[in-house]
């Protein structure tokens, strides 16, 4: 806090229901990605690397795993003296009943007392389920330089996809004069990434007013940002260039993993100046057997590979036995592919066992097959 006077709040309450069985037991931000990470490692590591000390994580749905995961702030070095990751679920108050968060803005509103404890000058609001690397310190620098009341990170999207996003229309100095949620005829290609820097005093006032507004959805995009534009506040668009992905579906999650095999992938996880930190799982080293064959794949420690792996991403502690084939697939932590089994164009959920000689997925399927339950093999 001393360095930059900015506190971060990560909205991590999404159910991620389009990820089907993957989010039965874990909230979307805790879904595994990239061999050894969870999605929320990205905003948390970005915070750590940007010099942010205090991070609140707003959780909601079935969050025991997410809660205990992020509570261990040491994973991102966020456990120094005046530092910490704080899990903030909805809670019972002296003067109100236990409530769920009604919208993104309400989640912040319900935690005004938490933020006030630190009395930061700036509050950074993030989403817990996006994959990207961003230096929020640079965004803050621009925010200050523009004397903005709020800054919103935006990324250029193809015009034809723009109508799926919240679009910011800004002048040549980056000052936003209009915001359109999923416009039919988008006027620009600058999509909001759901990353905001607010001057806390100003935001606090707006939130207090918003709580009392019975018409409000208590949402940043639908209510707070339009209200700020209405009030002639100085809203600044911060242009982000680089890899950014919202993995909302099984196909896009699979795709985001496959992006890591692309030699031109902008998300360089090997960059030692901006590491993504994650849980330090105690595992064996990565063991490659005598008959193994591995090509074009991304494999992490704790894996035991005795079969064939092609164009795949294998997560911590997966096993591919002799004669098994894994092609164009993503194997989540602890998956076992038994002898002779074939896995193709599939995303296999945590701990699932693919039995001997079983066949899962196919080379020419349109969608990626999600395998969330044990697949029986031959005896």
As a whole number of angstroms, the distance between CA 266 and CA 285 comes to 27
CA dihedral sign, ordered 31, 69, 220, 240? negative
Q: Which of 4, 32, 63, 297 binds a second copy (CB under 8 A)?
A: 63
DSSP states of 174-239? SBEEEEEES-SS-S--EEEEEEEEEEHHHHHHHHHHHHH-TT----IIIIIHHHHHHTT--EEEEE
CB-wise, 169 or 301, nearer to another protein?
Answer: 301
By CB under 8 A, residue 239 contacts a second copy:
no
CA-CA distances (angstroms) from residue 238 to 222, 298, 311, 379? Answer: 20, 33, 36, 58
Query: Which 281-300 positions form the footprint of a second copy (CB under 8 A)?
Result: 282
129-133-136-141 Cα dihedral, nearest 10 degrees: -150
Two tokens at 328? 């164009």
CB-wise, 38 or 233, nearer to another protein?
Answer: 38
CB-wise, 41 or 106, nearer to another protein?
Answer: 41
Q: Which of 15, 20, 25, 74 binds another protein (CB under 8 A)?
A: 74
Minimum gap (Å) between residue 72 Cβ and a second copy: 5
> By rule CB under 8 A, what string of x and - marks binding of each residue 190-229 to another protein?
----------------------------------------
Q: Which of 90, 128, 174, 361 binds a second copy (CB under 8 A)?
A: 90
Say if CB 124 and CB 1 are below 8 A apart.
no
Q: Which of 181, 231, 268, 280 binds a second copy (CB under 8 A)?
A: 280
Q: Which does 165 bind (CB under 5 to 8 A by kind): another protein, a second copy, none?
A: none
List of residues contacting another protein (CB under 8 A)? 2-4, 34-36, 45, 48-49, 51, 53, 74-83, 137, 260-261, 269-270, 273, 275-278, 280, 282, 284-301, 304, 309, 313-314
């Amino acid at each position: 806090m001393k360095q930059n006077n900015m506190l971060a709040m990560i909205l991590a309450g999404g159910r991620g229901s389009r990820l089907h069985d993957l989010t039965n037991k874990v909230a979307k931000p805790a879904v595994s990605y990239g061999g050894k990470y969870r999605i929320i490692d990205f905003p948390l590591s970005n915070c750590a690397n940007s010099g942010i000390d205090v991070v609140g994580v707003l959780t909601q749905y079935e969050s025991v795993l997410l809660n205990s995961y992020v509570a261990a702030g040491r994973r991102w070095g966020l456990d120094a003296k005046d530092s910490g990751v704080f899990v903030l679920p909805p809670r019972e108050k002296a003067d109100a009943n236990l409530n769920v968060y009604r919208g993104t803005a309400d989640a912040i509103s319900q935690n005004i007392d938490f933020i006030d404890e630190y009395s930061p000058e700036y509050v950074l609001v993030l989403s817990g389920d996006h994959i990207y690397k961003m230096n929020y310190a640079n965004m803050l620098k621009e925010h200050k330089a523009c004397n903005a009341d709020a800054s919103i990170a935006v990324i250029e999207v193809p015009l034809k996809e723009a109508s799926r996003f919240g679009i910011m229309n800004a002048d040549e100095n980056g000052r936003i004069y209009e915001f359109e949620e999923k416009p039919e005829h988008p006027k620009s290609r600058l999509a909001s990434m759901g990353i905001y820097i607010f001057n806390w005093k100003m935001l606090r006032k707006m939130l207090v007013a918003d709580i009392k507004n019975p018409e409000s959805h208590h949402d940043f995009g639908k209510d707070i940002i339009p209200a700020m534009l209405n009030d002639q506040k100085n809203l600044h668009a911060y242009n982000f260039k680089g890899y950014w992905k919202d993995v909302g579906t099984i196909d896009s999650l699979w795709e985001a993993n496959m992006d890591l095999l692309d030699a031109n992938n902008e998300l360089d996880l090997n960059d030692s100046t901006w590491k993504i930190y994650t849980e330090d799982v105690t595992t064996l080293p990565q063991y490659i057997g005598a008959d193994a064959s591995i090509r074009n794949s991304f494999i992490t420690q704790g894996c035991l590979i005795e079969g064939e792996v092609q164009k795949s991403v294998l997560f911590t502690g997966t096993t591919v036995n002799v004669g098994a084939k894994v092609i164009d697939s993503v194997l989540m932590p602890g998956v076992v592919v038994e002898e002779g089994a074939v896995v193709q164009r599939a995303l296999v959920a945590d701990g699932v066992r693919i039995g001997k000689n079983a066949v899962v997925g196919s080379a020419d399927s349109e969608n990626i097959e999600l395998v969330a339950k044990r697949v029986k093999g031959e005896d």
